[in-house]
Structures are given as C-alpha cells and as structure tokens.
Amino acid sequence: MNAIRIGAAVSLGVLALAALVAWPFLGPVWALALLAGGLLLLGAHHLRNLDRLASWMREPLGAPVPHGSGAWEHVFSGLNRRARKAMRQREELSAALERFRTAGQAMPDGVVILNRQNQIEWMNATAGGHLGLDSRVDIGSPIMNLVRQPDFVIHLESGHYAEPLMLHTSRRPGTALALQIIQFGDGQKLVLTRDVTQIERLETMRRDFVANVSHELKTPLTVVSGFIETLADSLRDLTPAEAENYLRLAHEQAERMRRLIDDLLTLSALETGAPPPADERVDVRTLLAEVAEEAKALSGGRHALSVDIDGDAALLGSAQELRSAFSNLASNAVRYTPAGGAIRLSWRADAGGGLLTVEDNGIGIEARHIPRLTERFYRVDRGRSRESGGTGLGLAIVKHVLTRHQTQLVIESELGRGSRFLAHFPSRRVAATEKTTV
Ligand code: ADP
C-alpha cells in the first residue's frame, strides 16, 4: 500500500512541479491546462487498471492475474502471490479430501454419512451394494425413502444406537447385515454396515452341531440306562441268556458312543492341529494293505476285496490322518455294499501327482445327496447308517484330511450301481518310493 501512496504522491508532485516550472514561460492558463491534462491522464491510467482488476475478479478461480503498470504493478503482483497461495491450499485440501474418500471407498464395511435431516451426504460403494443405494442419484435424498425396511426405519427413528441392528434384506435373500449407527457433530450420523452372512451361517452350524451331538449321544445313553435299569430291577427273574443279551446290547450302544466321541476328537484335532508334515513319507502300498486288512475284518468275508497299484509311490503327509481317511472310505464301502459285492482300492501315479480311489458296486447314492455328504451328520438313510455302526462323521473327516493335504475329494455314484470316491493328490504331496536294494 505504501508503494501506491508513494507512487500517487510522486505522480502528483511531478505534475505540480511541471505546472510551476511552466507557469513563468507559458502563463497561468497553459500551466493549469498542463496540470489538468496530467491529472486526466493519471485518472485514465488508474481507471484502466481498475477495469482490469474488475474483469479479473469476474473470471473463474485460478484465472491468471493481469499485468499492471506503475503502482498497479505492485498491486497485481501482490494479488498474484495471494492467488497462487490460495490455489496451492485448495489443491492440498482437495488432495486430503480425495485421500479420505479413497480410504472410505476402500473400507470393507459400508459407510453412509447422514445430515441432521437423515439425508445422505456421502456413501461408499460397499454401502451402496449392501443397502441398494446408488451414489450417483441418491446423494441428498432422505435415507428412509430409499431403505424402507420397517426394522431399519424404527431403529433410525428410535435414537438408541448402542446395539447394532441385524438386517435381513429381502433385496438380497439369504444375506445378513449388521448395521451400526454412530452419532457425531451437529446431529449427523454415520451408518456402518457389515456383511455377517458367513458369521451367522457359522453360528447356525455351531448350534446345529451341538444339537446333533447331544441327540446322537442321548439316544444310545437312554438305551444303555434302560438296560441297566431293567437288569437292576429284575436281575433275579432273568435267565442268564436274557441277562447276557441285555449286556451285549448295552455294550453295543456304549461302543456306538465311543465311536462317536472318537470321531469328534479326530475332527477337533484336525481343526486345531498343525498342518500335516510335508516330509513324512507314507508308502501307498503299505497304506492300502493296512486299510484293506481292516476292511476285510469288517466285511467278515462277505465281499470281494482287491487292491490295485499302478506305479509305486509315497504320499507326503500325516500317516495317521491318511490312514483314518482311507479307512473311513473303505469301511463305508463295506457297510454300504450288500454281501457278495466287490470293493476295490486303487492307486495310479500320474504326471500331476496321483489318484487314490475307493470304489464299490454297492447301494449307490442319489445325485441330489452327493453335494451334502461331507456335512457333519448328513446321512442318506439314517437307519442304515446307525445299523451299520456309522456316526455320520466319516466323510466329514475324509474331506478335512484331504483338504489339509491340498487334495480334493470327488464323489461319483449311481443309485443301485455303486460309488467311487477319488482323491487326486497334487505332485507336491507325492514322492517316488526309494528303491531298496537287496
Ligand atoms: P456314516 O457314518 O453315516 O457312514 P459318513 O459321513 O461316512 O457317515 O457318510 C455319510 C453318508 O454317505 C452315509 O450315511 C451314507 O448314506 C453315504 N455313503 C457314504 N459312503 C457310501 C458308499 N460307499 N455307498 C453308499 N453310500 C455311502
């Protein structure tokens, strides 16, 4: 500002001096005319620069500041500096805002910001997907006009947001959302949504599992305690053969409970245990011989059992787990194949690893049951499974063991014709057997 004042004072001083010097030579009229002319020119100069300043102010933000002359040069360069600084601050601010937006978009949870009137101010794409909102058209609209689910409307209007709301939207059947509202600022709200479908499914599975285990244990326990009661009440009236029969039946039920508990412990160990070792060698020939031996004992000579090995190899993994898995498959083959049937255990090494197959020509399985067979306690025929000593956990164990060995279980079956259970081991789980020289 000082520069402008000095500039104006210098201009006026120069004009006044010129008029005074001219006065004795040109006379008063011309000297005053000279002064008036000078003042006019000075006024025009200022008007022109003011005009430039006014037009610049009408330009959009960021337009270059015009150049000025004389004292205005100083004014314009000051403005230029301030405009550049303001632009820089604007850029920094919008970059910070953009970073926040990107972070909000990257969040795995849905985020919606509501103003005092519950109108949507901002949302991320996840929230859009969860609540069926479209950020291109729904910003500014009241959320209650868009998410009309009564549970949600009541919760939003209640003003009590300590507990999250569990929302099952009809728009996405089968999915569950946990919705949490957080108040902030001046009556604004943050709505957070999280997809808890998987957690809810696990919770249902856990509840079903506990109910199933209790039921599976309760049935034999009731039978055993019934037998004990009968024996205690009427031991003297029973013939030794009758008493023996009761004890045998009670023992069968106790065995059933033991098998169930053994299978439960195996499953639990599989779930919590360390991954199977990659350096323990399980010779396929030995493994299948042991499994076949067990199956023969179970069959009691009622089935034709064969083992077929094409290319000796060793599996890399847990011997105990693999034995348990293939014993389950072989015992199923025996239990679900009527007497006179054939059961075959085979191994074929190939370039991609090796294929271990357990097949039978037994009762077979209807296609609709196949995808669910590895679920815990899933049985096609509950009565038949129990009669033959099944726990309903065998295939769950098999699937678990194979998954831990990066191997997929494939089930092929045809009702009335038989079943085939295939385990394709990847090459990293298969090693060539060391040749023993004699
Ligand atoms: P279970 O103890 O009942 O045998 P699993 O988990 O081993 O339980 O098997 C689940 C169900 O799959 C069985 O109840 C049976 O219905 C069916 N299943 C398993 N293996 C065979 C097979 N080889 N042939 C026919 N059905 C089978």
pLDDT confidence bin for 176, thresholds 50/70/90: very high
Cα 29 to chain center, whole Å?
Answer: 94
Decide: 110 in ligand 1 pocket, CB within 6 A. Answer: no
For 363-401, how does the pLDDT look when each residue is reduced to its tens digit (9 = 90+)?
A: 999 999 999 999 999 999 888 888 888 899 999 999 999
CA–CA–CA angle 247, 251, 256 (5° rounding): 150
Q: What is the DSSP letter of 277?
A: P
- Lowest-pLDDT range, 60-64, 263-267, 300-304, 305-309? 60-64
pLDDT at 345 over 50: yes
Residue type, 268: S
Distance 311 CA to ligand 1 centre (A): 29
pLDDT at 302 over 50: yes
Q: Which domains are assigned to the chain?
A: 2-100 (no CATH), 107-195 (3.30.450.20), 200-271 (1.10.287.130), 280-431 (3.30.565.10)
Cα distance between residue 258 and residue 265, in whole Å? 10
User: Mean pLDDT across the stretch 180-208?
Assistant: 94
pTM assigned to the model? 0.68
198-202: long-range contacts, CB 8 A cutoff, minimum separation 24:
200/176
- How many residues appear in the chain? 438
pLDDT at 42 over 50: yes
Measured by CA distance, the residue closest to atom 13 of ligand 1 is 379
Residue type, 283: D
Is beta strand 342-350 parallel, antiparallel or unpaired with respect to 304-310? parallel
pLDDT at 1 over 70: no
pLDDT for the residue 437: 38
Q: Which helix (H) or strand (E) holds 152?
A: helix 150-158
Buried b (16+ CB within 10 A) or exposed e, 252-267: ebeebbebbeebbebb
pLDDT for the residue 438: 36
User: Mean pLDDT across the stretch 219-226?
Assistant: 92
User: Are the beta carbons of 412 and 419 closer than 8 angstroms?
Assistant: yes
Pocket mutation for ligand 1, best pick of 395, 409, 413 (most atoms within 8 Å of C-beta): 395
pLDDT > 90 fraction of the chain, expressed in percent and rounded: 66
Quote the mean pLDDT of the chain. Answer: 91
pLDDT at 281 over 80: yes
pLDDT for the residue 344: 98
What count of other Cβ atoms lies within 10 Å of the Cβ of residue 284? 25
169-176: long-range contacts, CB 8 A cutoff, minimum separation 24:
169/130, 169/131, 169/132, 171/132, 176/200
pLDDT confidence bin for 434, thresholds 50/70/90: low
Decide: 391 in ligand 1 pocket, CB within 6 A. Answer: yes
Cα distance between residue 427 and residue 430, in whole Å? 5
Cα end-to-end span (Å), the chain: 108
3-state secondary structure of 13: helix
pLDDT for the residue 57: 86
For 5-25, how does the pLDDT look when each residue is reduced to its tens digit (9 = 90+)?
A: 787 788 888 888 988 998 888
Q: Which helix (H) or strand (E) holds 293?
A: helix 284-299
Cα distance between residue 388 and residue 401, in whole Å? 23
User: Are the beta carbons of 78 and 67 closer than 8 angstroms?
Assistant: no
The tokens for 132 are 């069926």
User: Mean pLDDT across the stretch 203-221?
Assistant: 92
pLDDT > 70 fraction of the chain, expressed in percent and rounded: 98
User: Mean pLDDT across the stretch 196-212?
Assistant: 92
Distance 332 CA to ligand 1 centre (A): 6
What count of other Cβ atoms lies within 10 Å of the Cβ of residue 378? 17
Decide: 336 in ligand 1 pocket, CB within 6 A. Answer: yes
User: Are the beta carbons of 422 and 355 closer than 8 angstroms?
Assistant: yes
For 147-175, how does the pLDDT look when each residue is reduced to its tens digit (9 = 90+)?
A: 999 999 999 999 999 999 999 877 778 88
User: Mean pLDDT across the stretch 251-259?
Assistant: 93
Q: What is the DSSP letter of 431?
A: E
**Residue that is written with structure tokens 């306690």 in the block:** 377
Measured by CA distance, the residue closest to atom 18 of ligand 1 is 332
Distance 216 CA to ligand 1 centre (A): 16
pLDDT at 69 over 90: no
